[in-house]
Each structure stands twice: as C-alpha cells, then as structure tokens.
Structure 1
Amino acid sequence: MRLTATKPLAISRRAFLAGLGASGLLLGSGLSSAFANALKLDSARDLQLFASALRGPDGSYALAVVSEDGEILFQAPLPDRGHAISFDSTNGRLLSFARRPENFAVLIDVMTGGEPLVFTAPEGRHFYGHGVFSPDGRLAYAPENDFENARGVIGVYDMSGAVPSRIGEFESFGIGPHDLLLSPDGKRLVVANGGIQTHPDKGREKLNLETMTPSVTFIDTASGDLLAEHSLGSELHQVSLRHMSFDGAGDVWVGGQFQGDKSETPPLMVHLGQDKAATALEMPQDITQSLQNYVGSVEMNKSGDVIAASCPRGGKILYWDVAKRSFIGAHDVVDGCGVAPLDEGSFAITDGNGALSFGSAEDRVAQVINQTAGISWDNHLTPLGILKSS
C-alpha cells in the first residue's frame, strides 16, 4: 500500500472563525484584528495551516495555529513547555503533549470552540511528548513511562466523551518510547523506543546510557501484540531512536540522537519496515560532523518521495531520496526543528528564533517567509489542512 501525507482537511473559513470566537481564542490571543479581517474578507486564495507549541516573549508557553504566511491565527496557553501536537482530522481537534518530565496533555477543539481540556497520565506514569489519534478520532495513543518498573507503555485514551478517559495500556516493548506512528487503517502502531531510562525524581537525567537498547517496534492496536522489532545492534546501541515518518511506500525513516562520546559521529538516519531490517544510512562526513549528533523532526513531503530531517543543534535541514535511500542535499536553518510538508516537493520549517521558512532539497538556502519577534517555535510542526478561501 502506498502512503501519502495526511489528506488535507478542507476547513471552512466561516466555520474556523466561528470556532475561534466560540472558544474565546480569537480575542487577546495573538490574532491581530488586521489578520482576522483578512481571513473574513480574502476569498482569493487558500491557506495551509500548521500547529506548533511555542514559548512567548514573556516566557510563557502556548499552542499556536499558524498559516503558511507565518501569521499566528491563535494561541491557547499551555501549563508548561509543550512538545508535539497530534491532529484529529475527523473532528478538528488538537492534542498537545508536555515535554518530559512534565505530565500534561491539552485537548483543544478549534472548530466548535469550548474550553481546552487538560488531563494527565495516571499515577506512576508520565507522557513522553507525543501521541496519535485513531483514524476516527475516538481513541488516542500516548507513549508513557512506567518509571518504577523501567519500561515503556502505550496509554490508550477514549476521546469520545466529555473528558478524555484512560481505558487501558499495552507494552511498547522497550524503554523510553518517544515518537509513534499509526498506519492509515489504524491497525498498527510503530513506536520509537529511545532506550533511555529516566525517572521523574531525577529530572532529565539519563540513567542507563551504558546499557541502553533502543528499538523500533510494530504493535497490533487491537491486541497489543508485538508484530516486529528492529534495532541497530550493539555497535550503535547509543543511537537513541527518537522521531519517525512513513514514506510513500509505507516504510519508516527514523532520526537518532547519539548518547555516546562526543568525539564519535555515528550515522543518525535509519530506514526500516515491518519486514525490513533497520539500516543505518550514510551521508557526507562533513555534514555528519556538523550535526552535533542530533536529529530532531523527520517528515516526508506530500509526494512521499523525499524525507526531510531537522538538525537544530547543527543548524541544518537534511533531505533524502526515498527510492534510492540516499542523501540529496542540505541547507542551513539556525535552530530549525519543526518540519512539515508544504507541497509536492517542499517543506515548511520553524525555528527557535520565531521564523517560518520554506525549503527543499533543491534550495541552497531556506526562504524566510515571516518571523515573529520574541517567540521560539518548539520542536515539531503539525500540518492541519487547508483553510479554504470561501
């Protein structure tokens, strides 16, 4: 089965504005009156929308919806720093997860309004910053730390009621589950077990770097059974497998973060499939040496034939040809980490300096579209769909 990027959600401009007003997010939340008027009156063009967590000029944190023009449409406050945002395209809801070791998730309905709902993982668990909705939006799956038993679990939440309700969990079959993907039919989860043991009493301290064993697991969502497990082997056991994307063929690309000696520069990009072994991918040595052993977001373009990987510590965006599994280019974006598909060939990129840029494998430099003074975009950028012009 060929996969493509999430099918664009056609969002009615009228319904979107009505939802913002009903939720109280329209006024006093970063949406300028000029841009509100532009949304109401401009019928000449469609706008792609994205969501990201951010830090504001005063140090507070928020979830924001931003257009492809780099204009922030609204902000909803978060209790602390957010990480990734999951989108329920069936019902028009956003789910923001806290950055570890904080333990909250915030559910926001941008279409119908209503107060944001804040909930936490149960006692003895905390979130890892990521989650995903089932295709119908009824369930959400969230990686969690069972920290007293040093194991990863996937919490299963019923999102159909007045408030989210945790209805179960199953093993992630590893330690430190971070990112996860859901197959389009909702039957398989792919989990990046970063391999790093942590405990909330120790903050962000990493407790098992000498023995860590990262893996990527494929899990049946109906039974919780392990379908497949892949790792890079003992020689690369300190490459923490963190963030992932499907490609157009349904294979998985993973970005790693090396936890070993800083003088070493092992490969950080990995390709695998449920029935395909994990393969570390090579890139030019000068590029590898510039990355500070850290890959952030990993995303495919809308055609499914190019993968982009952000490297905020090295200030670079990398591009890979899916069919050839080969490195095809890079350009600089200082502290750029959020990446999302923009069109058939290019990507939207957000950075810690408040900018939204466009980039592709053919570009020598990214094109800065807009920069919002005083804010810092967080690690991930989620595509929401297209705000229709009429």
Structure 2
Amino acid sequence: MATDLHRRHALAALAGLGACVLAPGAAFATAGDRVYLAAAWEHRGSFHIGVLSTREGAGQALQVHATLEVPTRAHGLCVLPDGSVIATARRPGDWLVRWRPGAGGGPQWLWQDGERSFNGHVLASTDGQRLYTTETDAETGASWVVVRDARTLATTAAWPTHGIDAHELVWDTWGNNGGAPTLIVANGGVPTAPETGRVKRDLGTMDSSLVRLDAHTGRLLGQWRLPDPRLSLRHLAWSPDGALLGIALQAEHDDAAIKNAAPVLALFDGTALRGVAAPEPIAQRLRGYGGSMAATPTGWAVSCPRAHGIALFSLQGDWQGLVPLPEACPLAVRGGALWVGGLVASLQDAQAPAPLNHPHGHQLQGARLDNHWVLVHG
C-alpha cells in the first residue's frame, strides 16, 4: 500500500517522464487486417500499459502503438466503449487509471486510501458507465467487489465476495436472477497480510471459491468449491456458446510433485465445478500454473508461462496438446482465432496446425508481457 509520499513521488516521476507517448499515426485505424491489443508489460525496470499493434499474417512485427508509464506492475485491463483503457495494479495494488490513447488530456488516476487494495482486475458494465473492481480489506483480509462511476472513479457501492483473495470477475451469461444481471467472481483463497504484501501464509487455511452475485445489490446467489482446497481459482473465460465457464488454476500445494502435477483448468456448468487434468507426463511440465484463460470454437486455452507454452483442451475438457511459446501468457480471441503473447514473439491462431509467428518490434525487445491483453478492435 503506497504512502502519500510514495504517491507524490510516483506521480511526479511520471509527469517528468511524460505520461503518454504515441507512435506516429496513433489514432486507431479500422483496416480489417490491423490488430490492436491493450496490454501491460515490464521493460528494463519500468512498467507500462499501452496499445500494441500488428497486421494479420506471418512475420508482421508486433509494435508499440501507444504507451503510458505506470508506477508499478499492472495486471488486468478493460476497454470502454469510448476507447478508454482502464488498468489496475497487480495485487496488492494501490492505483487504478483511466487513459484514452491518442486523445487530449492526461490520464485519470485513482489511489487507494489505505483501507483497501486492488486485486488486479476490473470489469466494465456493458454501457461503460460503471466499473467493478475486486479489492481486499487491509484490516480484515476479506475481499470486496467495489462499484465505481466510470467517469469520476468514485465509489458507489461495495459488496463482500464471501471469501479472500478475490481475483477476476466476469458477467454471468446465465443471467437467471429474475432477468437481473449477475456477476461471477473467483475468490483465489490464498491468505496474505497487508504488512507482507504478496507473501503467502497459512496455506493450510486456503479457501478458494466461485461466487455468483446480484449485480444490483451484491446479494450472494451461489458459491462453489473444488474438492482440492489447494487449487486457487484465478482467471475466467466463457465458452463461445456461454454454456461453460473455464477457470485457470494455480496450485499451492506444499509437496512439489503434487503441485507440479495439479490441473491448470477447471470447468463450471452452472451447478458444479470440476478440475480437468492433463495426461502424464505432460501435466508435470505445466507445473500447476495457469497464467491466463481463453476459449474459442476449437476449445479452451490456458497459458502456462512456466511450461513455456499454451495448454489446449477441447470444450468438453479433453487434452489437445501444448503449443510451445517462450513465456507465453496473455491471450485474446479475434474472429475465433487465438492470439498469444510471449517473450520475443507472439502467435496468431495459436490453436491452428501452423500458428503464424509475429516477432516483437524493437520497442518490445527485452519486454515481459503481463498476464492479460484485450482486443481494442476486432
């Protein structure tokens, strides 16, 4: 949690650097073969969010189209209907920013006051008027969904997630709450303490769960857990037909062998959660760590940066293979095709028999992409 002095120093430093740097021709084009991805990355000790761009087709370099330096490592992003990019700090985070690449005016910052920390993810309402962030109470460790006005970033409501370490949240495709919208939230369940930040403690008390909340009142409508309490539910994606929710898992077992062989994918059908195992000996290579989550008509994709690849499953959960890509992590789907970011290159249509390789341009040389990127067009 940043002190007031840290906030002043961070903002002063950003102002001195020039907060927003735009490449030539930064206004977004609408050409059908141009791809824009809002992303977060670290480069030579500094942290950035920005828009990356390339053209479809093998060999097209992935370039930095627009960038904003941020105080610490960013994590989740979302793009509003007006083109604004919302990003928040990795847990336990103390900042959130709204930034419109290519538009006049500076970024709009929100700093936590010390009572709560951001947990790395933000979700927008369909009309872009409200933001929903997962946050943790600094005193009790309990997690909350905080509703904010997207224009002012002011808090309008706060609801308990009935768990700890809440992470990603998505809209519920079932919407079976009398027609009212509902939210699905992944409680990661990993105990931490404000004074030690991300240091995990008392893992024997882990309590990860998936919850459904009324998006008008925050009322708890359901809660589900996996049989193995050491599997942390982290990232979420819907199947193309909205019938199944895929969840990327991160194992927290004390025994290294059990941890490395743990599943990286769980599926939720609206009534029950089940883990989906990869076959041995492939499972050991995945090391129990799912970095991000996506689904296409072909099936599920879980990025596994520790295995330097993307684990692929059918929509029913059958193993399909591991696509190699050094430090593979962020995933996005464009026109049914999976885009994956890696260390020195990215893949277009990663589930195809012959994925198309996009080398990273010079501005991304040595950069490490964070877990997530989001299509700006496509």
TM over 0.5: yes
Is 1:55 paired with 2:51?
Answer: no
1:211 alignment counterpart: 205
Is 1:98 paired with 2:89?
Answer: yes
Superposed CA deviations along residues 296-324 of structure 1, whole A, max 9, x for unmatched, are 100123x4x522110001111012221x3
Instruction: Report which stretch shifted further, 185-194 or 140-149.
Output: 185-194
Describe the SS at the equivalent of 2:91.
coil
Q: What is the CA distance between 1:44 and its match in structure 2? A: 6.7
1:123-202 equivalences under 5 Å are 123-160=114-151, 163-183=152-172, 187-202=181-196
1:344-363 equivalences under 5 Å are 344=336, 346-351=337-342, 353-363=343-353
Describe the SS at the equivalent of 2:212.
strand
Is 1:232 paired with 2:226?
Answer: yes
2:299 alignment counterpart: 306
Structure-2 separation of matches of 1:328 and 1:125: 41
1:293 alignment counterpart: 288
1:60-75 equivalences under 5 Å are 60-69=46-55, 70-75=62-67
Structure-1 separation of matches of 2:84 and 2:272: 35
Instruction: Report which stretch shifted further, 178-187 or 189-198.
Output: 178-187
Structure-2 separation of matches of 1:189 and 1:135: 12
Q: What is the CA distance between 1:365 and its match in structure 2? A: 6.3
* Alpha-carbon RMSD: 2.4
Q: What is the CA distance between 1:287 and its match in structure 2? A: 1.7
1:282 maps to which of 274, 277, 297: 277
Is 1:245 paired with 2:237?
Answer: yes
Amino acid at match of 1:297: S
The 8 Å contact of residues 264 and 302 in structure 2, kept in 1 or not, is answered as no
1:367 alignment counterpart: 357
Q: What is the CA distance between 1:151 and its match in structure 2? A: 1.1
Superposed CA deviations along residues 99-137 of structure 1, whole A, max 9, x for unmatched, are 122311111123643210110234320001101001111
Superposed CA deviations along residues 304-362 of structure 1, whole A, max 9, x for unmatched, are x522110001111012221x332222211111101111332x311112x2432224333
Instruction: Report which stretch shifted further, 326-335 or 366-375.
Output: 366-375
Pair 1:26–1:384, CA change in 2 (3 A):
farther
2:319 maps to which of 313, 327, 332: 327
Pair 1:272–1:28, CA change in 2 (3 A):
closer
The 8 Å contact of residues 234 and 247 in structure 2, kept in 1 or not, is answered as yes
Percent identical among aligned pairs is: 26
Q: What is the CA distance between 1:27 and its match in structure 2? A: 11
Amino acid at match of 1:273: D
The 8 Å contact of residues 286 and 306 in structure 2, kept in 1 or not, is answered as yes
Describe the SS at the equivalent of 2:272.
strand
Structure-2 separation of matches of 1:101 and 1:382: 22
Q: What is the CA distance between 1:273 and its match in structure 2? A: 3.0
TM-score by length of 2: 0.85
TM-score by length of 1: 0.82
Structure-1 separation of matches of 2:31 and 2:165: 47
Describe the SS at the equivalent of 2:75.
strand
Instruction: Report which stretch shifted further, 106-115 or 286-295.
Output: 106-115
Q: What is the CA distance between 1:97 and its match in structure 2? A: 0.7
The 8 Å contact of residues 63 and 360 in structure 2, kept in 1 or not, is answered as yes
Gaps of 5+ in 1: 1-24
The 8 Å contact of residues 326 and 344 in structure 2, kept in 1 or not, is answered as no
Pair 1:46–1:360, CA change in 2 (3 A):
closer
Amino acid at match of 2:347: S
Is 1:86 paired with 2:78?
Answer: yes
Pair 1:61–1:220, CA change in 2 (3 A):
same
Amino acid at match of 1:258: A
